[in-house]
Every structure is written in C-alpha cells, then in structure tokens.
Structure 1
Amino acid sequence: MRRWKIAIQEYRGNMNIFNREVNIHKNADGLSIWPLPNNIYNPAYVPEEASPQISIEGISVTDLNKRFFEKVRNSDTQDRNCRILCQLLTQDFKDNSLIHALDEIWKKPYDEGRFHLLDGIIYHKTKHTCVMKVVDRSLRNLVLKEFHDSPFSGHLSEDRKREKIKTCIWWPMWYKDVVEVCKTCDRSQNANKSIGKRLGNIIKNQEPSKPWEFVHIDWVTGLPLGGDRSYNACPMIVDRFSKTPVILPCHKDDMVTHHCLQGVLLKVFWYWTSLLCPLAGSFGFQGS
C-alpha cells in the first residue's frame, strides 16, 4: 500500500491518501501483483523483533547524576498510581481492573497512550516531546526553582516558563504549579504588565477640512550630492487632506535654506493654519 501511495503521489500530483494500519508481521504489499519481500528495501518493511524507540527530549541522561534517576525510581515505588502504571506498561494485555484503579488525572493520559516505560522510569509523551515524569515534591520544586529563580532563568513570564518546562519534565497539573510560583514571586509581580504602570494614550490630531490646512514636513538628509548647487538634503511637505507632496532640494544645516523655505511657505502656502513638523516653531506656525 505504501508503494502505491508513493507511485500515485509521484505521477498524480498532490493527493491525500490514508491507509489502514495492519497487524504486525503482515505485509500490506502482499495485495499487489508482485509482492516485495519483507526486508529493508521494502517501503513497508516490518522488523521481526524491533524494540520501540522513544525520543527522549529535555533532560539528558549524560548530564544528570545517577542518584537523580534512582530518586525518581524510588519515588515511583512509593506512589500508588506509578506502581499501577509500571504494572500496566510491563504487561502484554490490558488489565481493566488496574486501569480503573488509576486516578482520573492518570487514567485519561494512559487511555490516550501517553505513558512509556524505559529503564524503570515512566515517560510522558505528547505530540512533539517525550519527557520524564516526576512525582516527588522535592524534585518538582527543584525544577521550578531552576526555571524561575536560577540566575540563568531570569524570572521568566508564565507563558515562557510553560514552554520551557513542557519540553523537559512532566507531572499531573504541572501548569497550576507554574502559575502559583509566578503569583508568589515578588520580582515577577513587579514586572507584570497587568499591574504595572499603564501606557499613555495616543493623542489624535485634528482632521483637516480643506486642502493645505494641515501639513507634515519630513527632513530627508544624508543624500548624495546632486544638482548645480550640490544639494544633500530635501524637506518633503505633504498635505494631510489631499496627500499632495512638495519636495524642495536644499542643504543640511544651512540658514539660507531656512529663510528660503520660510519664504516659500509664506508666499505659496500663506493660507496654512497649522504646520506639523519638528521645526515648525522656527516658521512661526503651530507644531506638534
């Protein structure tokens, strides 16, 4: 079936094809006219004795002391739900009596197939991560401290802390502990935007009712020399009503340009009532 899927997608363009999962040791290519042998060259190859591979992310086994893993295993033996999970994950069949003995907070992820047992430690699997599970309160507090109070964490916000913790470790209702830590931290509350100083509102400018009633001036500098007088800057005057631009080449920091521009403004646009630019005060107009 997978070989057919590859061939159809190659010759027919983009297609969404779904094939039904089959039992182990059952080759779906047996339905074809020329079935392929069950070897590594078969796209639907099924290993005979293949152990499941679980990608462990977050906590690296090479960077932690063996005592940490021993503490995790010892805490699992003292927790009732963890003992039941270990029994369920080591059995080849589903024991309904053990499943119903789990608490609801553990039963739901087990029914979804999120728990895996590796080297005596239970891991919790999500769509993109498979992380270690801890039930010991001291280990939980250690994780929360490293992700919040540590000098390398920087007192992260609640959302950023959730994103980091969920890729490293898991325990039931862990996100509520994260919220509690953020609420009880003085530094986090002082930096909280919801209780901090509010930002100011934007002041709305008066809308023009006719052309050239309100204008904007923006100075463009740092231009290459051009023209017979080697201009290197130009003010751009834009009418707010008609959006008409007026560009005047000039020299940067030149008093002659200042007086020339002032004369042009008074001569050509003498009926302006307001001028919006950083240098409006030099022309005797209202500015903002």
Structure 2
Amino acid sequence: MDQSLQTPEQQAWLHKFLGYDFKIEYKPGKENQAADALSRMFALSWSEPHSLFLEELRNKLAANDHLKLLMIDCQNATADKHYTVREGLLYWKDRLVIPVEEALIQRILPEYHSSPIGGHAGITRTMARLKAQFYWPKMQEQVQEYVQNCVICQQAKVSNTLPSGLLQPLPIPQQVWKDIAMDFITGLPIVNGFSVIMVVVDRLTKYAHFLTLKAYYSSKTVAEAFMSNIVKLHGMPRSIVSDRDKVFTSAFWQHLFKLQGTTLAMSSAYHPQTDGQSEILNKCLEMYLRCFTYENPKGWVKALPWSEFWYNTAFHTSLGMTPFKALYGRDPPTLTRTQITSQDPMELRELLANRDSLLTKLKTNLFRAQQAMKAQADRKRQEVIMQVGDHVLVKLQPYRQQSAVLRKNKKLSMKYFGPFKIIAKIGSVAYKLDLPPSARIHSVFHVSQLKLFKGNVDEPYLPLPLTENGVQDDATWEDIEDIKSNYPSFNLEDKVDVKGEGNVMGDRTRAQHEPSYDVSCDDAGMNNQFPKNVDLGRGQRVRRPTWKLRD
C-alpha cells in the first residue's frame, strides 16, 4: 500500500478496499493457475462463415426463368443426369452453374486470374482453374478476352512472338564518303589516357577509320578528332548515321553539323539496330583486338593501326571486293611481294577509265546483299502495322536514376510501360508517341519496342522509369529531402545543398523556391562562372544557393 496513487480510478478502488482487512502477497505465475481463467470473459458462441457470393448466386438463379425451370426439371426421373441441385444451387457435372450475369462473372474472373491464387496466369491455365469449379455459356471467349485485356499481364509479361517490323535497309549512297556511320567502343584498358575507339565507316565503300579518344571524351573533343582525321581526308559528309549517344544528341554536335549542312540520322529510342553498319564493324574490330592482345590487353593501341589496315584490305562479301579497292579503284598493296608489277602508263589509264564501272558494280553488289539480308532477317520477323490514334505499350529497360537506385529492383520491374497514344508515323517502322510531360526521353520508337494495348485506355498508366547518364533533355529529378529521409545513410554524389537542404527539383517545383543561379558547363569542362572556393569533393556538402549544372 506504499504505492503512490496517480489516477482517479486508483483512488476509487482504494476507497472500496479500506473497508476490508487484507494483505497483498506476490504469487509466482506458475502457481497462480486460476489467474488466466479469471481474467477472461465467459462468453462462448458458435460462429460459422456464410458466403455472400453463394447467397447472391441463389437469388440470381431464382430470378432466371430458364435456370429456374431447369432446377425444377432436375427433380424428375427423366431429367439430364449431368444436372443436379444441392442447397438451392445448380450444378453441371459437379461444376457450379453461373447465370449469364456480367456482375457475377466480373467478380469471379479477378479472383481466379488477378489474385495471388490466380497468379496472372495465361488463358489456358486460368481456364483450367475456372472449369474445375464453374460453368457458364461462352466461358472460353470471356476468359480469353479478360486475360488479353489484363493491364498487369500486358506490362509484366515477356512477349513470345516474333519481333515486330520487317527489315528496312538504308538507301545506298551515291558517292564515297558522303554518307557515313559513327560509333564508339568503350571499356578498353586505359593506355596513355586513351580507352575509347571512335569508329567511322563509309556506308558505300565500307572503308573505315579507327581513332583513339580519351576516357572522358566530350562532343567538342569528338568534333576535333572528326575534323582532324576524317574531314581533312574526305571532306564534310552529307549524312551521319549514329546511335543516341550523349555526344551525338548534344546541342554542340547538332549545331556544328547543322551549320555544315550535314543531316544527323540517329537511331530511334532503344533501337541501336538502326546503325547496324557500325555495330557489326565494332564486333569485327573487337574480335581482331581480342585475338592479338588477349595476353597483353594494354597493347590494343599499338594493334589499332594494323586492325584498320587489315579491315580495309579484307574481302567483303556484300561488296564483292575489298573496301580499299572500292574506294581507290585498285587492289591494296601487299606487304609481301610475290609478283613483278608492270609500270605501263596504259594500265594506269585503263584503271582510271574503269573507275565509274567499278562504282556501278559496287552499288549493284550492295543492293543484292541488302536484299539477301532483308529476306533472311524477315524470316524471323513479323510485319505489324499500327495506326495513328492507337494506344501502345512501350518496352523499356527499367533504368533508374542513380540517386534512387535503392527504390526499385530491376529484376522485378515491369517490361512494358503505358499505354500511350500514337500521334505520328515516322518512316515505315517507327512511331511517335504522345508521352507525358514528365517523360524526358525520345518520343520516337521502333515498332519492335511497341505492343498494341488491349483494354480500357482510361485506366491509369504505368509511368515511365527514371533514367540515368542521359542528356539534359532526358534528365529526371528527385527531391533530395525525400532521398535523405528514405535513405539516411546513402551517400549522394555531386549534389549541392541549399543551407543544408539541397533540393534537386524540376523546373516547375524550382520556380516556387528562391531563385537559383545557372552555371553553364561546356563540353571541355566547368567555365569560369562557377564560384571560387567551392569544394565538390566526394561526400562534401556546399553551403551555397542551388546550382543547376547543365551538360
């Protein structure tokens, strides 16, 4: 009774206990066997679950004149033995008969397809699970329509059909070194600061040049190498086919060639096959370097000139000759002389006279090779024609912004995103989509990256994933406060705080906050506008206003 009383309830109980003579003693729990029973209310009752669905089904059966007569007929001896009535429910071959009621069927289908038990299975498996318990007319058609229109299935499942879109060869160039293709080979060992190979190939003669670049190349350094090694030898090209590398999509690169009157033909989003010439040449060059530098990988720089000579003097099936002969009109010189060559000027004049006929033969051979490749490729493809106004799903790799890498799992991300509306057809096999304003990716896609959407387009679509290492137009933004609160131990690199807060937001959100200072970052590096004494070291936080860094 030495315990202090804190609440009115304790005071009330003390007032009652004062009229009794008692002593409070502690009793161990294993000896106090009656305490558990005394603390429970003795109120037992039997409970049994009742299926509201079955009750509703009984009412629907009673209201259906045809099924009601069938249930009455089951009581006759001459009735169909496949039909039985149990507890007011009609069965056919021990399968519950469902009236053709849209509401009832739409309650059953999600439970046997979209639930964890259904597992978003295909038509055959979902049908087998339903047929084991239910029956209704046109069951197969309704199940097939429901499964095909399931949005989750369309977004999450891998397509097992042939790739969409027949092969569309690029037009054959009419002059040498007027239409070229470019690409980069990265990930090589660093030798004297070089770790990248810039591949430039003439699309007509297949003649190629291999240039070395520093590990951290920019559009400016690439343009300098291009002018110093390609333009000085062959002049400015008329068109350049490339992928969507950040160099080729930069404003500097596009403005430079726009002034020169050169057309930049970049591949559609997530479809590098557009520049198939560079891709196959990269594979060929990597094979050569692998064969001769596998024991000393850092010797690739010394082997690069030999690889260029080997490639340009090797026979090409599509050309019917070597790239060297296609460009210069004569056979390449051999390093080992086995025959005495003639110096007759007549032969030289004849060689020059046959130059035009050689180019004509070259174009004919290229056309035949293209048709053969198209016929072979189209065997494993299917032609899919979409119309403007159709809604499609987009196939993307679920890349994420690096600062939010812990938010999602790439393995379990959706395969398709959308649906999005087609607003224009570009060429024969590419389409432009009406992407939301928040989607900062290229809006033109090859048909192989698209899939026609089935179902109600008014339902909320799955937003596009965040991207990383893209150009400014492809950038996405994350609120740094959300990142810090969700991942307090995560080290954010290259982010700048605002008085300890550090918001990295989109333009609309940023406009609602204090004004920011834009710092231009040219391709060669940071310019002189960036404030002095600002430490951007790893893990450091700068107590400055918001800076927006632009590539």
TM exceeds 0.5? no
**TM-score under structure 2 normalisation?**
0.23
Highest RCO, 1 vs 2 (Cα 8 Å, sep ≥ 6): 2
**TM-score under structure 1 normalisation?**
0.40
Which of the pair has more CA radius of gyration? 2
